[in-house]
Amino acid sequence: MGPNPFKPTAGKMPPILIGRESVIDAFDRGLANGAGAPERLMLITGQRGSGKTVLLTELGRMAKKDGWDVISETASGGMVQRIVESLRGTSPRVTRASIGPSASLGGTSLSLGSVELSRPEAPLTIRAAIEDRLARLPKGKGVLITIDEVQSASRDDLVAISTAVQHVIRDEDMTDLPDTQKHGIALAFAGLPIAIDNLVNDDVLTFLRRCVRYDLGEVRIPDVKNAYISTVNDSGKMISEKDAQTAAEASSGFPFMIQLVGYYMWQSADVNGSDAITAEHVSIGATDAANAFQDSVCAPAVRSLTVAQREFILAMVPDLPEPSQVAHIAERCRKSMSWAGKYRASLIASNLIEPAGRGYVRISMPHLAEYLQTRREA
């Protein structure tokens, strides 16, 4: 039997990347159309588990294949400095070594010398680092910088990166070369929807408003079903159209769940030594996938909520699986309707709940309702 083809690991490129063709095609056009193509500046948003990291990986793969250099970062402290070092290709190097006195321990001689490591002098700005890297590339090629979890980036870092990219684009525009021969710079940010909204609305980060935005939603169930059939069959097992449909419905079209369901139904068949994935294997796989999804996606989503957001969403639990009336949520929380309206809006922006008719909301993240019902202490 062949290895399990499904890869539900954060950032790991899955064998199937479905439902994201519009983003991939747009980026491909951006690379082909030369300097100034709007698709070279992207904002990608989506819930946890919606495939943002995988999509950034795919964009990086495409750029490398086209001869571009790619710098991939996850936002955290010191991000700009790490990008600068990656652009320059710097790494610690030995600048001085000395051999000091020796000591003897149990008949073994130990040198007490020292080694000093330092880095080459860093460029003054990230702009200089980008321009230095571009100067080493062939005409028409460029640098793609991808930044994941952008909501964790400092405002100063984002200002520095955005300002540098604007100047680099302007400098390239002042050359007499055709757009397809100018050096390029591309940026792709990925983050949670509400974080992206806050960044775009920042008066200092107006540059981000010119980025093309893509909001990652669920994949169509028929597309998931077809992907299951082709992936399973191409990897040495069989699955019927009916069972593939059941598996697709269990995934809710959510990219991470697509991989989880596929992984666990394949594993269930493997454990039983079966070359065919049956309805029983799909059922076991769907249950295991739901548990894994709750632990790796739902739990972090709930932990990231503010106290007020968590209070609001927990007040919806008594109504499950039916929608909740916002007025009842306010009453249960002993808060005003303006309070309820504020946190209703923030949870909708985070893609955790959605409108369900006038004055009603429902939980929208897959398996979050079950998680809240069984683990309210989370």
d(CA 223, CA 175): 45
Beta strands 324-325 and 360-363: pairing type? Answer: antiparallel
- Alpha carbons within 13 angstroms on the beta-carbon side of residue 328 total 14
pLDDT tens digits in sequence order for the chain, 378 residues long? 678 999 876 544 555 577 788 899 999 999 998 888 899 999 998 888 888 988 999 999 999 999 999 999 999 989 999 999 999 885 444 444 444 444 444 444 444 444 444 444 433 589 999 999 999 999 999 999 999 998 888 888 888 998 899 889 888 888 888 888 899 999 999 988 777 777 777 665 777 788 899 988 889 999 999 999 999 998 999 999 999 999 999 999 988 899 999 999 999 999 999 999 999 999 999 999 999 999 988 998 899 899 999 999 999 999 999 999 999 999 999 999 999 999 999 998 887 898 999 999 999 888 899 999 887 544
Best CATH choice for the domain 221-301 from the list 1.10.8, 1.10.1200, 1.10.3470, 3.40.50: 1.10.8
Hunting for tokens 């095609």 — which residue is that?
A: 25
Residue 6 tokens read as 């499904």
d(CA 108, CA 142): 54
Every domain of the chain with CATH number 1.10.10.10 lies at: 306-374
Every domain of the chain with CATH number 3.40.50.300 lies at: 21-90+120-215
Residue 276 tokens read as 């065919």
Supply angle C-alpha 138, 144, 145, rounded to 5. 140
Q: Which long-range contacts (CB under 8 A, 24 or more apart) does 71-75 make?
A: 71/143, 71/144, 71/145, 71/146, 72/146, 72/148, 73/145, 73/146, 73/147, 73/148, 74/147, 74/148, 74/149, 74/152, 75/147, 75/148, 75/149, 75/150, 75/151, 75/152, 75/153, 75/157, 75/191
Looking at residue 90, its pLDDT comes to 56
d(CA 49, CA 296): 9
Find out whether 54 and 12 touch, Cβ atoms under 8 Å. Answer: yes
Residues near 224 by beta carbon (within 8 Å), at least 6 away in sequence: 18, 247, 248, 251, 253, 258
* pTM score above 0.75: no
Looking at residue 152, its pLDDT comes to 85
Residue 249 tokens read as 């419905």
- The CATH number of the structural domain formed by 21-90+120-215 is 3.40.50.300
Every domain of the chain with CATH number 1.10.8 lies at: 221-301
d(CA 271, CA 288): 14
Q: Bridge-partner residues for 361, per DSSP?
A: 324, 355
- The CATH number of the structural domain formed by 306-374 is 1.10.10.10
